[in-house]
Structure 1
Amino acid sequence: MWISIISLFPEMFKTIIKYGLIHKSIKKKLLNINFWNPRDFVKNKFSKVDSPIYGGGGGVILKAEPLIKSISKAKLEMRNNVKIIYLSPQGKKINISYIKKLLSYNKMILLCGRYKGIDERVINNFIDEEVSIGDYILSGGELPAMILIDILVRQIPGVLNTMSSGNTDSFFNNGLLDSPHYTRPRIIKNVKKNTVPSILLSGNHKKIKEWRLQQSLGMTWLKRPDLLRKKKLTKKEKFLFNKFKNSYLKNK
């Protein structure tokens, strides 16, 4: 995957490319990240990349010309089939179906806005999609871009030690939340809720798989019922879910 980032503050990305899965994917040459700063595309060091908006009102936006030149330069280097995404609170919210769709592109440009946004003509003429991470305002598009990259990188074959780990993550897990997980030691002193489900210690992988599915259905019902309402359950899933629900309500 090849990602070009257009940002006034490319230094913000230094941390994520030095650590974790993003660093690992770059080191294994599964991910290539380039940076383009609109400040490098102004006439001289005294020229500004931002300007007050027409019609008055508070705040400034990023000017069109430096952004257009940044996009053009990035596209020229990346050549064909480039997806251009603007990180914006007005964009479509990132969800799992969108991420799966985005994985079909191996070249993309992420444009990070600042201040009150960018000149609308850039959006109308150069942006393929506007994308949001939620209904709130941040200081710029850099943090959303980092989040989007981190989500995508987990799905690149060869980044995770096992792809089954990513496939069972919440949301990627057939639209459900992940099941609970436990590890050593089996007993933790002075902790009240101290029980590791015996099925996980049984070695019966068929039963463990069934238990995890039941727990995924149950956790989704308890924490994100909106996801469960969207899902059409199979006969087996209905049985497991009803079993979880009845047990939960009985012990509540």
Structure 2
Amino acid sequence: MTATATGRAPWRADVLTLFPEMFPGPLGCSLAGQALERGTWSCAAHDLRAHGLGRHRAVDDTPFGGGAGMVMRPDVVAAALDAVAEDGRPVVYPTPRGRVFRQDDARRLAAGAGVVLVCGRFEGVDERVLERRGIEQFSMGDAVLSGGEIPALLLLDACVRLLPGVMGSEASDAEESFGADGLLEYPHYTRPALWDGMEVPAILLSGHHAAIAAWRREQAITVTKSRRPDLWAAFEAARRENVQGEAARGRMTGPIH
């Protein structure tokens, strides 16, 4: 495997799907597409029907216990996984039943060698193959889609943009929503300074960098409180934990009487 300009091997994404033509899709454009052309990462889509059964290459069957829809067979999914060299890469299954995918998950996956994605369709994938193969299950939000392909693209985009040399500024990730402190991002403004009767906040035109940073911090806090109380609660809990930890360390390193 050829190393990239950054000295690391290309980040590899293998996608198991009934619709391989959907990849790389939008990830073949813009910065992700340029990184794909440079070999910073690779994307291989594998047709699950290649491992289907019978003349019609069946990949699904009726659910045990009855109910609507069809379920993707565990033997078909397992055979597709066996045909892909996992090389220790995590296998991920996007599903509304998974835990919420967060920026920390994107950072962890981007720091590794890549990922193998299983895109479900119909009513989903037989639970046994998920358990037997230790497949990670992630939800991209509280909505049900037609299949796992669009969530897979979302996950890949979140990871690829973090690869070395893909983004224009290495500082961007720390300042964005769900950055190092877990807050949502502050609002952005650009020219013209007056548009449709609305002015850019004066502080941003002041040239006072410390004041601008303080304003942006306050804006991030305000928007997080109002739009994502769950993130604000986590931020507050982490801040209390840090304060308690610093106090404990202070007691440990204080003067000995």
TM-score range, shorter chain: 0.7 to 0.9
Whether 1:41 aligns to 2:51 is yes
1:212 Cα deviation from its structure 2 partner: 1.3
1:57 Cα deviation from its structure 2 partner: 2.5
Whole-Å separation in 1 of the counterparts to 2:108 and 2:28: 27
Whole-Å separation in 2 of the counterparts to 1:227 and 1:163: 24
Whether 1:204 aligns to 2:208 is yes
Whole-Å separation in 2 of the counterparts to 1:177 and 1:118: 34
Contact 2:28 2:36 in 1 (8 A): no
1:44 Cα deviation from its structure 2 partner: 5.3
Provide the TM-score with structure 2 as the length reference: 0.81
Which residue of 1 is the match for residue 28 of structure 2? 18
Contact 2:70 2:123 in 1 (8 A): yes
Whether 1:141 aligns to 2:148 is yes
Whether 1:53 aligns to 2:48 is no
1:108 Cα deviation from its structure 2 partner: 1.3
Q: Secondary structure at the match of 1:35?
A: strand
The 3 A distance-change label for structure 1 pair 211 and 234 is farther
1:214 Cα deviation from its structure 2 partner: 1.8
Contact 2:53 2:59 in 1 (8 A): no
Whole-Å separation in 1 of the counterparts to 2:192 and 2:142: 41
Contact 1:50 1:60 in 2 (8 A): yes
Which residue of 1 is the match for residue 84 of structure 2? 74
Residues 159-238 of structure 1: matches in 2 within 5 Å?
159-188=166-195, 191-192=196-197, 194-232=198-236
Root-mean-square deviation (Å): 2.1
- Which stretch shifts more, 224-233 or 205-214? 224-233
Structure 1: stretches of 5+ with no match in the other structure: 236-252
Which residue identity lines up with residue 74 of structure 1 in the other structure? V
- Which stretch shifts more, 179-188 or 222-231? 222-231
Q: Secondary structure at the match of 2:152?
A: helix
Contact 2:51 2:57 in 1 (8 A): no
Select the residue among 105, 127, 150 that pairs with 2:157: 150
Q: Percent of pairs identical after alignment?
A: 32
Whole-Å separation in 1 of the counterparts to 2:67 and 2:35: 44
1:166 Cα deviation from its structure 2 partner: 2.5
Contact 2:90 2:135 in 1 (8 A): yes
1:179 Cα deviation from its structure 2 partner: 1.0
The 3 A distance-change label for structure 1 pair 139 and 68 is same
- Which stretch shifts more, 226-235 or 200-209? 226-235
1:160 Cα deviation from its structure 2 partner: 0.8
1:49 Cα deviation from its structure 2 partner: 1.3
Whole-Å separation in 1 of the counterparts to 2:53 and 2:68: 26
Whole-Å separation in 2 of the counterparts to 1:207 and 1:184: 20
Superposed structure 1 runs of 4+ greater than 6 Å apart = none
Count of equivalent residues: 229
